[in-house]
Structure 1
């Protein structure tokens, strides 16, 4: 079955499992494997039906029900996911995975206090599982309580010093706390642990470029990020910004326009586009790019100030400033 799946022959894998289940209808692993294949195929109704059939006969299979909850999460049916995980805890309140997943769903729904409650319980149940600390950090980050996020991520690193995700997220928190040198060290540690951590490559490269330091390294880092994820518009924006800072404005324009075509609703990309147009003395296009940026984010006071300083008058975006005139 694994070979069929690896060779993208899922239907043959399902047929093999059906044959196996004809002979051994109670084979739990075969039922779960069918559900996994259906899930990979995005055939969620079939996957859910398969798991519900198992649970009807064996209602105490907590891992099966937890997998069912994950399928509901993937469908963004969070109410059913929550009910499914809570059904597990009604049977066994100490079942770690469902406690953790309730914390994650609560975080996704921005029910931060509920998330914290579940995550505190998860850490008490198993302090060695670092997912809890990572999710704690993300929850506090979402609450803009960066000091608490830092504390939890550092606790996680004590449990697992080689966890690249913990180091990366600690770096983002330290940046928010204006501890740039410490943030850089965490990003560098992330890349030592995982040289292809695209988020760390992008974050560090953009940070260097935006602060006006280490331009060549910034270019190398952002290029590596884009090579790993060429269709990530935010990474392409970082590459464009590094090129712009190096004075390579023609290449920067090509990259920033590609970024805008990949992410059409990001105000920072259009702010960068305006700066690049301005460096090419294309003032009308710079003005329109900035107006479009302000249309997407009217709270950007520094851009409004820059707009006035460039002699463009009052920055009043209207629906006429469309991105289609700025991006080929």
Structure 2
């Protein structure tokens, strides 16, 4: 009987030891997969079956120490002690290379330090271990948003280089974020890098072909770069995508002016005005176009509306004075020219039209008109025209017949 009991006890002990060893092996497997919590649970279960095994106890103590480091590191992140957190997570990673949570925690600490490049690096490392780790996916997206918003803020504050760097970081995180390419285009254009601006707008549009604002800004960049045909195509695509894009209609009209297609230009300006009736810039451009068609009555009418809507636009007053002079309405021309001069005293065009109005085809004051032309002459762009008019007033017989 004693032998039977001994055999049963021995069998039970051997079974327990075998089961404990199996649990320990499962613990090591969990550890190799980065699951520190499960590894600890398995070792504890192994100890429950084999309480005398010193190896199991030492491993439990080691894993418990790593677990405490994880807890303390996470607490450090919450408390804003980011360097302490990084050190703690680093110790865990050194012992458990596939510890997804440790990589995620490290990324969070770097994000807290606003080192977004390092943060994304560690988020991506966690995903290389577990591609379905949702917290890292969400965090990467949030970092991209933070960087994008920070870049926009830098741009608005005039910190262009910083903004550019952040937009590039955003694209390093998400190369499909067309808005970042677009903003880089806006920034490069502001910096005078038209070729780079065009490239970035094109990159944005290669991702989102229906991005009307992208087409419009691409057209502006082409126009400024002297590429009228591509500018025209870009503006046409803008209004094809969005018939209510009044700025694009106006810009297309300006292209038609450059191409000397004045009737088409007027149609574009009228379309813009139909969409936005108080669009002073379209009335201004339409007034200039009517002047090119020598329809000065309609030119004056359009420009009068322009100055009503934009009374601080000196060029509208200047062109209005020009139209009134062409209509021989000298008093109205004087009033408009004086408004232009009040807004910009060193602009020769205002003084020139005031001189024309003052002379009034020979019916006005020669000396006063010459004084105005002399002031126009101070503006290099108007010097030759002013000198011609001075000579014409002083020596009218030279210009008779």
Q: TM-score, normalised by structure 2?
A: 0.58
Asked if residue 226 in structure 1 is aligned to residue 307 in structure 2, the reply is: yes
Higher relative contact order (CA 8 A, sep 6+): 1
Aligned equivalents of 1:78, 1:296: Cα separation in 2: 34
What residue in structure 2 maps to residue 149 of structure 1? 231
Q: Which residue of 2 aligns with 1:93?
A: 175
Bigger Cα Rg? 2
Give the C-alpha shift of residue 172 in structure 1.
0.5
Distance in 2, Cα, partners of 1:64 & 1:278: 63
Which residue number in structure 2 is paired with residue 276 of structure 1? 357
Structure 1 position 296 matched with structure 2 position 379: yes
Describe the superposition over 1:152-199 as per-residue Cα deviations: whole angstroms up to 9, x where unpaired. Answer: 211222222221111110110110111111111111111122111110
Greater share of helix: 2
The gaps in structure 1 that reach 5 residues or longer are 1-51, 313-328
- 1:249 is matched with 330
What's the secondary structure of 1:196's corresponding residue?
Answer: coil
Does structure 2 retain, via aligned residues, the 8 Å contact 1:72–1:78? yes
RMSD, aligned CA: 2.9
For residues 21-47 of structure 1, give each alpha carbon's deviation from its aligned partner in whole angstroms, at most 9, with x where no partner exists: xxxxxxxxxxxxxxxxxxxxxxxxxxx
Change (3 A) 1:294 1:110: farther
Match of 2:370 in 1: 287
Flag the 1:88–1:287 CA change in 2: closer, same or farther, 3 A: farther
Name 2:103's counterpart in structure 1.
Answer: none
Note if contact 1:209-1:245 (Cα within 8 Å) is conserved in structure 2.
no
Matched-pair contact (CA < 8 Å) for 2:358–2:369:
yes
Displacement of 1:104 in angstroms is: 1.1
Aligned to 1:262: 343
Counterpart residue number, 1:49 = none
Asked if 1:164 corresponds to 2:213, the answer is no
Q: Tell me which residue corresponds to 1:73.
A: 155
Give the Cα–Cα distance (whole angstroms) in 2 for the partners of residues 242 and 112 of structure 1: 35
Aligned residues: 261
In the aligned structure 2, how far is the partner of 1:249 from the partner of 1:53? 69
Identify unmatched segments of 5+ residues in structure 2: 1-110, 117-138, 396-401
The alpha-carbon deviation at position 212 of structure 1 amounts to 2.6
Q: 2 CA distance for matches of 1:194 and 1:166?
A: 12
Report the CA distance shift for 1:222/1:169 in structure 2 as closer, same or farther (over 3 A): same
How much has 1:94 moved relative to structure 2?
1.8
1:200 CA displacement: 0.4
Name 1:108's counterpart in structure 2. 190
Evaluate the alpha carbon distance shift between residue 207 and residue 72 of structure 1 in structure 2; reply closer, same or farther with a 3 A threshold: same
Farther off after superposition, 278-287 or 80-89: 278-287
Q: State the Cα distance separating 1:56 from its structure 2 match.
A: 7.1
**Counterpart-to-counterpart distance in 2, 1:125 and 1:301:** 51
For the residue of structure 2 that corresponds to 1:118, the secondary structure is helix
1:1-328 mapped onto 2 (5 Å cutoff): 60-209=142-291, 211-215=293-297, 217-279=298-360, 281-298=364-381, 305-311=388-394
TM-score relative to the length of structure 1: 0.69
Deviations 1:136-157 (A, max 9, x none): 1111211222122112211222
